[in-house]
Amino acid sequence: MKLAVLGSGSKGNCSYIEIGGKKILVDVGYSVKKIREKLLTIDQNLEDIDAIFITHDHGDHMKSVSTLSRRQNIPIYIHKESLRQIQRKLGNVNTDNIVVLEDRKVFLDNVLVENFDVMHDSKHNLGYTFNYQNEKLSYVTDIGKITNIVRQNCMDSDYIAFESNYDLGMLLNGRYSWDLKNRVKSNVGHISNDEASTFLENISNNRLKEIFLLHLSEENNTPNIAYKTLEEKIDKRIKINITGQVATKLFDFKK
Protein backbone atom coordinates (compact mmCIF):
# COMPACT_ATOMS: atom_id res chain seq x y z
CA MET A 1 0.00 0.00 0.00
CA LYS A 2 1.18 3.52 -0.85
CA LEU A 3 -0.13 6.98 0.03
CA ALA A 4 0.68 10.54 -0.93
CA VAL A 5 -1.37 13.48 0.29
CA LEU A 6 -1.11 15.75 -2.74
CA GLY A 7 -2.75 18.62 -0.88
CA SER A 8 -4.95 19.12 2.16
CA GLY A 9 -6.66 22.22 3.50
CA SER A 10 -9.15 24.93 2.60
CA LYS A 11 -7.26 25.75 -0.62
CA GLY A 12 -7.66 22.26 -2.03
CA ASN A 13 -7.68 18.55 -1.23
CA CYS A 14 -6.48 15.50 -3.14
CA SER A 15 -4.76 12.28 -2.09
CA TYR A 16 -3.25 9.39 -4.03
CA ILE A 17 -3.61 5.82 -2.80
CA GLU A 18 -2.08 2.76 -4.43
CA ILE A 19 -3.47 -0.51 -3.15
CA GLY A 20 -3.79 -4.01 -4.59
CA GLY A 21 -2.61 -2.84 -7.99
CA LYS A 22 -5.22 -0.04 -8.10
CA LYS A 23 -4.37 3.66 -8.30
CA ILE A 24 -6.97 5.84 -6.60
CA LEU A 25 -7.57 9.53 -5.93
CA VAL A 26 -9.58 10.74 -2.95
CA ASP A 27 -11.07 14.17 -3.77
CA VAL A 28 -10.11 16.42 -6.65
CA GLY A 29 -10.18 19.90 -5.16
CA TYR A 30 -7.76 21.45 -7.65
CA SER A 31 -7.79 22.19 -11.36
CA VAL A 32 -6.97 19.25 -13.61
CA LYS A 33 -3.69 20.97 -14.51
CA LYS A 34 -2.74 21.27 -10.85
CA ILE A 35 -3.64 17.64 -10.14
CA ARG A 36 -1.44 16.53 -13.04
CA GLU A 37 1.43 18.60 -11.68
CA LYS A 38 1.03 17.19 -8.19
CA LEU A 39 0.89 13.62 -9.48
CA LEU A 40 4.11 14.17 -11.42
CA THR A 41 5.90 15.03 -8.16
CA ILE A 42 5.39 11.39 -7.14
CA ASP A 43 6.05 10.06 -10.68
CA GLN A 44 2.40 9.26 -11.41
CA ASN A 45 0.12 10.18 -14.31
CA LEU A 46 -3.55 11.08 -14.30
CA GLU A 47 -4.20 8.66 -17.17
CA ASP A 48 -3.18 5.75 -14.94
CA ILE A 49 -5.74 6.48 -12.23
CA ASP A 50 -8.30 3.67 -11.86
CA ALA A 51 -10.90 5.40 -9.67
CA ILE A 52 -11.74 8.66 -7.91
CA PHE A 53 -13.66 8.79 -4.61
CA ILE A 54 -15.28 12.05 -3.49
CA THR A 55 -15.88 12.82 0.19
CA HIS A 56 -18.35 15.71 -0.26
CA ASP A 57 -19.53 18.59 -2.42
CA HIS A 58 -17.46 21.53 -1.13
CA GLY A 59 -15.32 23.18 -3.79
CA ASP A 60 -11.99 22.44 -2.13
CA HIS A 61 -12.77 18.74 -2.54
CA MET A 62 -14.60 18.50 -5.87
CA LYS A 63 -13.39 21.42 -8.01
CA SER A 64 -12.52 19.38 -11.10
CA VAL A 65 -15.20 16.64 -10.93
CA SER A 66 -17.10 18.09 -13.88
CA THR A 67 -14.01 18.51 -16.07
CA LEU A 68 -12.62 15.09 -15.20
CA SER A 69 -15.96 13.43 -15.92
CA ARG A 70 -15.83 14.82 -19.45
CA ARG A 71 -12.15 14.57 -20.29
CA GLN A 72 -10.98 11.39 -18.56
CA ASN A 73 -12.49 7.94 -18.65
CA ILE A 74 -12.10 7.43 -14.90
CA PRO A 75 -15.01 6.24 -12.74
CA ILE A 76 -15.87 8.85 -10.11
CA TYR A 77 -17.53 7.37 -7.01
CA ILE A 78 -19.80 9.77 -5.17
CA HIS A 79 -22.89 9.95 -2.95
CA LYS A 80 -26.09 10.88 -4.80
CA GLU A 81 -26.66 14.02 -2.68
CA SER A 82 -23.14 15.23 -3.36
CA LEU A 83 -23.64 14.58 -7.07
CA ARG A 84 -26.79 16.71 -7.10
CA GLN A 85 -24.94 19.60 -5.50
CA ILE A 86 -22.00 19.28 -7.87
CA GLN A 87 -24.32 19.26 -10.87
CA ARG A 88 -26.00 22.38 -9.52
CA LYS A 89 -22.73 24.17 -8.77
CA LEU A 90 -20.57 23.07 -11.70
CA GLY A 91 -23.02 21.77 -14.31
CA ASN A 92 -22.08 19.75 -17.40
CA VAL A 93 -21.16 16.54 -15.56
CA ASN A 94 -20.79 13.50 -17.81
CA THR A 95 -22.75 10.94 -15.80
CA ASP A 96 -21.35 8.09 -17.92
CA ASN A 97 -18.26 8.30 -15.73
CA ILE A 98 -20.15 8.76 -12.46
CA VAL A 99 -20.77 5.84 -10.09
CA VAL A 100 -23.35 6.66 -7.43
CA LEU A 101 -22.51 4.98 -4.14
CA GLU A 102 -25.63 2.99 -3.32
CA ASP A 103 -23.93 0.45 -1.06
CA ARG A 104 -21.45 0.77 1.78
CA LYS A 105 -18.99 -1.54 0.02
CA VAL A 106 -17.36 -1.27 -3.39
CA PHE A 107 -14.93 -3.80 -4.83
CA LEU A 108 -12.22 -2.81 -7.30
CA ASP A 109 -11.21 -6.35 -8.14
CA ASN A 110 -9.75 -7.54 -4.81
CA VAL A 111 -9.64 -4.10 -3.20
CA LEU A 112 -12.52 -3.35 -0.82
CA VAL A 113 -13.51 0.30 -0.39
CA GLU A 114 -16.04 1.01 2.34
CA ASN A 115 -17.78 4.34 2.92
CA PHE A 116 -19.43 5.72 6.04
CA ASP A 117 -21.23 8.90 7.09
CA VAL A 118 -19.30 11.82 8.55
CA MET A 119 -20.88 14.92 10.11
CA HIS A 120 -20.11 18.16 8.24
CA ASP A 121 -22.08 21.05 6.76
CA SER A 122 -22.28 19.58 3.28
CA LYS A 123 -25.19 17.70 1.76
CA HIS A 124 -23.56 14.36 2.49
CA ASN A 125 -20.03 13.78 3.70
CA LEU A 126 -18.28 10.41 3.54
CA GLY A 127 -15.25 8.83 5.09
CA TYR A 128 -13.56 5.85 3.45
CA THR A 129 -11.60 2.76 4.36
CA PHE A 130 -9.39 1.04 1.80
CA ASN A 131 -8.75 -2.65 2.42
CA TYR A 132 -6.55 -5.19 0.67
CA GLN A 133 -5.49 -8.52 2.10
CA ASN A 134 -4.50 -7.70 5.68
CA GLU A 135 -3.95 -3.96 5.30
CA LYS A 136 -6.39 -1.15 6.06
CA LEU A 137 -6.19 2.60 5.50
CA SER A 138 -8.88 4.89 6.95
CA TYR A 139 -9.45 8.36 5.47
CA VAL A 140 -11.55 11.04 7.20
CA THR A 141 -11.51 14.77 6.48
CA ASP A 142 -13.89 17.67 7.19
CA ILE A 143 -15.54 16.26 10.29
CA GLY A 144 -17.43 18.17 12.97
CA LYS A 145 -18.12 15.38 15.44
CA ILE A 146 -16.60 11.98 16.05
CA THR A 147 -19.50 9.54 16.10
CA ASN A 148 -19.67 5.84 16.90
CA ILE A 149 -19.91 5.19 13.15
CA VAL A 150 -16.56 6.90 12.64
CA ARG A 151 -15.02 5.01 15.56
CA GLN A 152 -16.27 1.65 14.34
CA ASN A 153 -15.00 2.17 10.81
CA CYS A 154 -11.57 3.44 11.82
CA MET A 155 -10.89 0.64 14.29
CA ASP A 156 -8.13 -1.82 13.44
CA SER A 157 -6.52 0.45 10.86
CA ASP A 158 -2.89 0.08 9.89
CA TYR A 159 -2.79 3.67 8.62
CA ILE A 160 -5.11 6.60 9.30
CA ALA A 161 -5.44 9.94 7.51
CA PHE A 162 -7.56 12.10 9.81
CA GLU A 163 -8.49 15.76 10.16
CA SER A 164 -6.86 17.91 12.84
CA ASN A 165 -8.17 21.32 11.84
CA TYR A 166 -7.65 23.86 14.60
CA ASP A 167 -6.12 24.73 17.93
CA LEU A 168 -9.00 25.87 20.15
CA GLY A 169 -7.04 28.74 21.71
CA MET A 170 -5.97 30.08 18.33
CA LEU A 171 -9.53 29.84 17.02
CA LEU A 172 -11.13 31.61 19.99
CA ASN A 173 -8.50 34.36 20.08
CA GLY A 174 -8.22 34.73 16.32
CA ARG A 175 -9.75 37.21 13.90
CA TYR A 176 -12.69 35.08 12.72
CA SER A 177 -16.15 36.45 13.46
CA TRP A 178 -17.98 34.71 16.30
CA ASP A 179 -20.43 33.27 13.81
CA LEU A 180 -17.58 31.66 11.90
CA LYS A 181 -15.84 30.52 15.08
CA ASN A 182 -19.03 28.82 16.21
CA ARG A 183 -19.48 27.22 12.79
CA VAL A 184 -15.92 25.83 12.82
CA LYS A 185 -16.27 24.23 16.26
CA SER A 186 -19.85 23.04 15.76
CA ASN A 187 -20.91 19.42 15.20
CA VAL A 188 -21.02 20.11 11.46
CA GLY A 189 -17.80 22.09 11.26
CA HIS A 190 -14.32 20.78 11.96
CA ILE A 191 -12.53 19.11 14.85
CA SER A 192 -9.72 20.44 16.98
CA ASN A 193 -6.26 19.05 17.55
CA ASP A 194 -7.32 17.92 21.03
CA GLU A 195 -10.40 16.09 19.72
CA ALA A 196 -8.45 14.40 16.94
CA SER A 197 -5.57 13.34 19.18
CA THR A 198 -7.89 11.95 21.87
CA PHE A 199 -9.78 9.96 19.25
CA LEU A 200 -6.59 8.61 17.69
CA GLU A 201 -5.22 7.70 21.11
CA ASN A 202 -8.40 5.82 21.99
CA ILE A 203 -8.59 3.75 18.81
CA SER A 204 -4.89 3.02 18.42
CA ASN A 205 -3.76 -0.55 18.87
CA ASN A 206 -0.85 -2.73 17.85
CA ARG A 207 -1.87 -2.55 14.18
CA LEU A 208 -1.69 1.23 13.82
CA LYS A 209 1.64 2.24 12.30
CA GLU A 210 1.26 5.72 10.79
CA ILE A 211 -1.04 8.73 11.09
CA PHE A 212 -1.46 11.55 8.59
CA LEU A 213 -3.01 14.73 9.95
CA LEU A 214 -5.28 16.39 7.37
CA HIS A 215 -6.90 19.77 6.72
CA LEU A 216 -4.88 21.91 9.13
CA SER A 217 -6.23 25.46 9.24
CA GLU A 218 -3.70 28.04 8.06
CA GLU A 219 -5.42 30.62 10.27
CA ASN A 220 -6.09 28.67 13.47
CA ASN A 221 -3.40 25.99 13.60
CA THR A 222 0.26 25.32 12.95
CA PRO A 223 1.97 22.08 11.93
CA ASN A 224 4.05 22.18 15.12
CA ILE A 225 1.04 22.59 17.44
CA ALA A 226 -0.90 19.81 15.69
CA TYR A 227 2.12 17.49 15.80
CA LYS A 228 2.91 18.10 19.47
CA THR A 229 -0.73 17.74 20.54
CA LEU A 230 -0.86 14.27 19.03
CA GLU A 231 2.68 13.32 20.01
CA GLU A 232 1.82 13.84 23.69
CA LYS A 233 -0.97 11.25 23.52
CA ILE A 234 -0.01 8.65 20.95
CA ASP A 235 2.31 5.66 21.34
CA LYS A 236 5.85 6.66 20.37
CA ARG A 237 6.20 3.81 17.87
CA ILE A 238 3.43 5.35 15.68
CA LYS A 239 4.77 7.73 13.06
CA ILE A 240 3.03 11.11 12.70
CA ASN A 241 2.94 12.91 9.35
CA ILE A 242 1.71 16.48 8.84
CA THR A 243 0.10 17.46 5.53
CA GLY A 244 -0.60 20.77 3.81
CA GLN A 245 -0.77 22.31 0.36
CA VAL A 246 2.62 20.93 -0.71
CA ALA A 247 2.40 17.30 -1.82
CA THR A 248 3.99 14.78 0.51
CA LYS A 249 6.35 12.15 -0.79
CA LEU A 250 4.87 8.82 -1.85
CA PHE A 251 4.89 6.72 1.31
CA ASP A 252 5.48 3.05 0.56
CA PHE A 253 4.33 1.21 3.65
CA LYS A 254 6.14 -1.99 2.70
CA LYS A 255 9.51 -0.27 2.86
Secondary structure of residue 6 in the 3-state scheme? strand
DSSP designation for 193 = H
Domain spanning 2-246: CATH superfamily: Ribonuclease Z/Hydroxyacylglutathione hydrolase-like (3.60.15.10)
Cα 25 from Cα 127, distance rounded (Å)? 13
DSSP state, residue 247? P
User: From CA 142, how far away is CA 65, in angstroms rounded?
Assistant: 18
Quick check: 93 and 65 in contact, CB under 8 A?
Answer: yes
Amino acid at 22: K
pTM (two decimals): 0.97
Mean pLDDT of 38-45: 99
From 173, 159, 204, select the one nearest 4 (Cα to Cα).
159
pLDDT for res 74: 96
CB of 216 within 8 A of CB of 8? yes
SS3 65: helix
Q: Tell me how far the alpha carbon of residue 237 is from its chain's centroid.
A: 23
Residue 255: per-residue pLDDT:
57
114, β-bridge pairs: 105, 129
How do residues 93-122 score in pLDDT, each as one tens digit?
A: 999 999 999 999 999 999 999 999 999 988
Dihedral Cα 232, 235, 236, 237, nearest 10 deg: -160
pLDDT beyond 90 at 89: no
pLDDT beyond 80 at 73: yes
What's the confidence (pLDDT) of residue 249?
Answer: 98
User: What residue segments make up the domains of the chain, in order of their start?
Assistant: 2-246
